[in-house]
Amino acid sequence: MMLTMKINKMNLEHKNKSYMIDNVSCKEIANNFGTPCFVYSEEAISGSFKKIKDIFCTEKRDVYYSVKANSNLTILKLLLNLGSGFDIVSMGELDRVLKIGADPKKIVYSGVGKSEKDIERSIKIGIHCINVESIEELKRISMIASKLKINAPVAIRVNPNIDPGSHEYIATGLNSTKFGINLNNMMDAFSFAHTEDFINLIGIDYHIGSQIETLEPFIEAVTSVAKIIKQLKSNQIDLQLIDMGGGLGITYKNNNVPSIREYGEAINKAIKDNNLEDYNIILELGRSLVGNAGYLLTKVEYIKKDSEKNYVIVDAGMDNLIRPALYDAWHNISCINVNKDAEEILCDVVGPVCECADFLGKDRKLSVQQNDILVISSCGAYASSMSSNYNSRPRPAEIIIKKGQAVIISRKEEISDLYSREIII
């Protein structure tokens, strides 16, 4: 009899004593591609995108995937083919989306530190919109656009001072952060943009934070922006575009989050309730499209029991997945060889990096033995894209499961890649 159990409602299944991602065995993937490695489910990514597309997208409403969540070219291409636009924050991200054939008219550019070169390039390629984060940036854009004699399309990113209830490092819509222009100064920014010759003020933008687990902050933000739009109208400033940012959370543990459907419906309702239906609207989702579609496979190198705690030392570390160290984030960890007679131990799952912050999970109960493979869930967003080479460790391979086949979409780095830019003098 086939025993099947869905884990965390994701694409990971415990089936016939083995762990499978979209019917491909994790053990096989680990054997074929080595560990650590990231594994993504194409089905899960397209499923999430199609859900928001069905509920939200129309001629006037688009989803622009936030590239920072996971910038692998195959994932970008998959989303492009499904109809996504892109939200970028650097020239590196711009190059990636241009490389996969994205139309600059479906790219928005956010970020607080755009250089003169960055601005010039984005104006020249005909980007859809620059989301402006300060009056100083606006002045710089105006100066560059006048020199180029090309109108620069801009939206003003406002900071509506709304608490999204997420970790302080990702609560971007509060006045205490560097993001957006606060409500006291935003009128000056809109007036300046409205009167400058080479600035084409097309919209208003906000992004209040990430891993938001309730709908209220999203609705509060729409209401707040509707008031600003009214105020602008009374000052003869008319906009066409509202960029509502991203931020929808995902399930990591047993946290309840609104589904993509519930989120899309709530946004649609808020748009209607606030009479914003005539505007072009963009959502910049990242995590909710890819987060639960990815896994990190890692091998147990040692089980160390001679300290105050038990340590399961694995071959992935904070260089591959920094979220536990940075945000105290919790990721589900399952051991593949669950049918062996290993005793269950209470342990910290840690990496080989020389930092006390190098942990992937604390106080976990695992039946685990040396050389077992662990599957770390919810590693599709802000995992590979936030990885580093700390301790001169090469970045792992990335694999996608496409129609029942495991396909490599990023090779493991060679150690020589790590110093290929360096010059010995």
Ligand X SMILES: Cc1ncc(COP(=O)(O)O)c(C=O)c1O
The residues that are catalytic are 354
Q: Which of 72, 110, 134, 332 binds ligand X (CB under 6 A)?
A: 110
Q: Is 207 an interacting residue with respect to ligand X (CB under 6 A)?
A: yes
Binders of ligand X in range 29-48 (CB under 6 A): none
Shortest distance (Å) from residue 87 CB to ligand X: 5
Residue 158 or residue 368: which is nearer to ligand X going by CB? 158
Binding mask 170-189 for ligand X (x = CB under 6 A): --x-----------------
Q: Which of 85, 173, 203, 247 binds ligand X (CB under 6 A)?
A: 247
User: What b/e sequence results for 302-334 when a residue is b if at least 16 CB atoms lie within 10 Å of its CB, and e otherwise?
Assistant: ebeeeeeebbbbbbbbbbbbbbbbebebbbbbb
Q: What is the dihedral of CA 356, 359, 364, 365, to 10 degrees?
A: -90
DSSP for 57-102, please give it: -SSSEEEEEEGGG---HHHHHHHHHHT-EEEESSHHHHHHHHHTT-
Shortest distance (Å) from residue 66 CB to ligand X: 4
Residue 198 or residue 330: which is nearer to ligand X going by CB? 330
Q: Which of 41, 72, 142, 210 binds ligand X (CB under 6 A)?
A: 210
The pairing of beta strand 85-88 with beta strand 107-109: parallel
Shortest distance (Å) from residue 179 CB to ligand X: 7
Whole-angstrom Cα distance, residue 190 to residue 131? 12
Which of the stretches 241-249, 320-328, 343-351, 406-414 binds ligand X when contact is defined by CB under 6 A? Answer: 241-249
Within 10 angstroms of residue 255's Cβ, the number of other Cβ atoms is 11
Do 208 and 244 meet the contact criterion of CB atoms below 8 Å apart?
Answer: no
Residue 374 or residue 381: which is nearer to ligand X going by CB? 381
Residue 267 or residue 366: which is nearer to ligand X going by CB? 267
Residue 130 or residue 285: which is nearer to ligand X going by CB? 285
The pairing of beta strand 310-314 with beta strand 344-350: parallel
Shortest distance (Å) from residue 250 CB to ligand X: 9
Residue 360: C-alpha distances to residues 90, 163, 352 (Å)? 28, 28, 11
User: Phi/psi zone of residue 175: left (φ > 0), alpha (ψ -120 to 50 degrees), beta?
Assistant: alpha
Q: Which of 21, 69, 228, 347 binds ligand X (CB under 6 A)?
A: 69
Which of the stretches 50-58, 182-190, 243-251, 302-310 binds ligand X when contact is defined by CB under 6 A? Answer: 243-251
Binding mask 257-296 for ligand X (x = CB under 6 A): ---------------------------xxxxx--------
Shortest distance (Å) from residue 364 CB to ligand X: 26
Q: At residue 203, what are phi and psi to the nearest 5 degrees? A: -165, -175
Residue 289 or residue 312: which is nearer to ligand X going by CB? 289
Binding mask 366-405 for ligand X (x = CB under 6 A): ----------------------------------------
Token code pair at residue 178:
């560097």
DSSP 3-state of 259 = coil
Residue 218 or residue 359: which is nearer to ligand X going by CB? 218
Q: Is 196 an interacting residue with respect to ligand X (CB under 6 A)?
A: no
DSSP for 261-297, please give it: HHHHHHHHHHHHHTT-TTSEEEE---HHHHGGGEEEE
Q: Is 245 an interacting residue with respect to ligand X (CB under 6 A)?
A: yes
Shortest distance (Å) from residue 395 CB to ligand X: 21
Closest by CA position to 405, among listed 18, 70, 9, 39: 39
Q: Is 246 an interacting residue with respect to ligand X (CB under 6 A)?
A: yes
Total residues interacting with ligand X, rule: CB under 6 A: 17
Cβ neighbors of 396 (< 8 A, separation 6 or more) are 34, 35, 36, 37, 38, 296, 316, 320, 384, 387, 412, 413
Q: Is 364 an interacting residue with respect to ligand X (CB under 6 A)?
A: no
- Bridge partners of 38, per DSSP, are 296, 398
Contacting residues toward ligand X, per CB under 6 A:
66, 68-69, 87, 110, 172, 207, 210, 245-248, 284-288
